[in-house]
Structure 1
Amino acid sequence: MFEMHGKKALVVGVANENSIAWGCAKAFKALGADLAITYLNEKAEQSVRPLAQELGAEIIRPLDVLDTDQLDVLFEEITQRWGQLDTLLHSIAFAPRDDLHGRVIDCSAKGFGLAMDISVHSFLRMIRKAEPLMPKGGTCMTVSFQGSTRVVEHYNMMGPVKAALECAVRYAAAELGPKGISVHALSPGPLMTRAASGIDEFDELLDAAAQHAPTHQLATIEDVGAYAAFLASREAANVTGGVHQIDGGYSIVA
């Protein structure tokens, strides 16, 4: 029923084969989408480029979202090569280690601002550049976590950051809805990704999630990819502004 043939998808945030973004990229490709995949820097390229080539990505470029020139070059290539963009998947987040491991009330203004810039405002910057490439509508997605609405031990300052991201999704969805552009947040439960490895005692959180989820198992990057592919399909064109829980029901358990 769902397909993406002829659609162009930009996937930002692939770090390795365990990345949520990688699960989404695989799902988009399986449904027929053409891909653009980015990597953070030269070190990351060694892991990401082979994965991107495995999926036949037509565009493979570096993207540090703090580098406005790289963002401009990426979207210029998308414009020149494709002339359109149908799907944007933003799966990046960052917090300085010292700020992340301390109390929320103790985090530095500089660290908090950097986390907000990379984790939230970069999504808005990408949407703004994607908008003119979506004259017939499109789908923009980012990745959140339940620490946005509940206190999750050791998640610390990323909780307020993800709360801001989800709020940004709602406002962007309201602003772009008349143009047929939907905006979503994917919220899987705990997953062992490179970003999650920076959170203290994350293994314990994984075990607790698996024990308490109604399905008694964690979500996988393939689960997230399948859901993202549905949201990117024409069948989901009238769905927007939501925070989609993909966590085996863990989020409903008290």
Structure 2
Amino acid sequence: MDVITHRAIEYLLLPPGGPILLGFLGLLYWRFGYGRRVFVFALLLLWVTSLPITADLLAQGLEIHPALSEERLAESHPEAIIVLGGGRNLDAPEYGGDTVSARELERLRYAAKLARQTGLPVIPSGGAPIYFGEPEAKIAARILQDEFGVSVSQIEAASNTTWDNARLSAQLLKKLGIKQVLLVTNALHMRRAIYAFERNGVEVIAAPTSFIHKTNTRHVWLEGLPNGLAVKNVAYAMHEYVGLLWYYFK
């Protein structure tokens, strides 16, 4: 199955596509009793998957790696920083073409911070999985150099999936003689990313960023109100759970 077909199926099944599709099925069979019940269930499902509290609960099972501490960094011996691609913003007029997504920009910002803190080289990883054009790693390298002042000498620009990130990065690291790396990606994605890298023989120190789960919520009552950001986070979390299951069974 190609990446585009995979993404289309994902969009149809995960929120909000899944509940909406289920609701249409309920309307299609509205004249039957079960059709009404399916429609009501779809509406409730859409509500639940739009709540910040749902996103938070799902994130707790994925964000198992804490933020990188000074102590953890001091006791380890990483030789490079791997930062994973996270999608692109197509045809951004203010940049004159494609650039990285907001999600990837968060990763690049943290990777740049770690590079300045440790003096380690940064290796962006990411190809062009859906759209033709410049690989994400090349765009990321340019942003790191031009906007964050971090020079990049090595990239991995052929990967289409997280597993590819790990497999192809492992090959590059072996050529460079690097055994241990700091791995930068979203906290929600870190569990699956580490699984992939370790299965490909890379010794990884987790350096997660952009945590969703918060231990202290200032306005608890807002957690029970639906919003668009929660839908996005729930879909992202469910994507990661499905990805983990796929990796385990694969």
TM-score range, shorter chain: 0.3 to 0.5
Return the structure number with greater relative CO, CA threshold 8 A, min gap 6. Answer: 2
Larger radius of gyration: 2
Structure having the higher helix fraction is 2
What TM-score results when the alignment is normalised by the length of structure 2? Answer: 0.41
